[in-house]
């Protein structure tokens, strides 16, 4: 099938561009990315670009998803909070890594579409999607092993550190609405360590702790 060929090309491109975690590559190999784009864009799904998914939102570049997943290094059985479900692609990749994903999406229609895709892929037993303000997190299922933002935040989400376990990781793009720096926070017993990684561009985070 044409999708199989394009998927293999995507995986090889990710490997050449520095994605070395074999578990991440294998998880992305198992997720049919063309399920997650708007009708008519399926053949572009595996190209290295963001694509519109409606409501002013996009599905991130394959490299961006792979890089963020590699940085988080999620382990089987870990509990991951995702801020911004979007198309559901990142959640599906985490599901294939054996994680339990709690994902919050502000746009009802996107959340409902993502839920249908999770059912198609058999991920509903590991992925729980809620409609609401993801910038507040999801305290009911805390603490989490990791928290990942799929939208750019105006500042460090320090209010979510309490929803992390000791040793937990939080990955978030921070900056202006035009450009952000992908930033990793690691919660130790007595401090939260910060590491800036790479400049990227995401859609702006909406909600109480996002862009108004």
Q: Say if residue 143 is preceded by a cis peptide, omega within 30 of 0.
A: yes
| 60: annotated active-site residue | yes
Coil/strand/helix, residue 30: coil
| Residue in the block written with tokens 């800036």 | 196
**Token pair of 121 as six digits:** 């892929």
What is the gyration radius of the CA atoms in the chain, in angstroms? 16
Coil/strand/helix, residue 161: helix
Q: How far is it, in rounded angstroms, from Cα 79 to Cα 116?
A: 21
Q: How far is it, in rounded angstroms, from Cα 80 to Cα 169?
A: 10
In the chain the first and final C-alpha atoms are separated, in Å, by 44
Q: How far is it, in rounded angstroms, from Cα 53 to Cα 86?
A: 8
The residues, ordered by sequence, that sit 6+ positions from 207 with a Cβ below 8 Å of its Cβ are 106, 133, 134, 135, 136
The distance from CA 166 to its chain's CA centroid, rounded to whole angstroms, is 21
**Catalytic-labelled residue, pool 20, 60, 103, 135:** 60
Which residues belong to the active site?
Answer: 60
């Amino acid at each position: 099938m044409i999708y199989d060929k394009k998927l293999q090309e995507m995986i090889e491109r990710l490997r050449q561009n520095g994605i070395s975690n074999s578990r991440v590559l294998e998880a992305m190999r198992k997720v049919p990315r063309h399920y997650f784009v708007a009708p008519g864009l399926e053949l572009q799904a595996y190209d290295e670009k963001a694509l519109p998914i409606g409501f002013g939102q996009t599905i991130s570049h394959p490299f961006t998803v792979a890089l963020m997943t590699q940085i988080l290094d999620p382990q089987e059985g870990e509990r991951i909070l995702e801020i911004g479900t979007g198309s559901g692609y990142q959640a599906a990749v985490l599901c294939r890594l054996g994680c339990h994903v709690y994902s919050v999406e502000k746009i009802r229609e996107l959340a409902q579409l993502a839920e249908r895709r999770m059912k198609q892929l058999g991920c509903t037993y590991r992925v729980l999607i809620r409609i609401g303000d993801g910038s507040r997190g999801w305290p009911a299922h805390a603490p989490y092993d990791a928290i990942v933002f799929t939208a750019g935040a105006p500042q460090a989400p320090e209010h979510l550190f309490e929803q992390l376990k000791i040793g937990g990781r939080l990955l978030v793009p921070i900056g202006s609405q035009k450009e952000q720096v992908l930033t990793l926070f690691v919660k130790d017993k007595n401090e939260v360590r910060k590491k800036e990684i790479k400049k990227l561009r995401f859609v702006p985070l909406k909600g109480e702790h996002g862009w108004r």
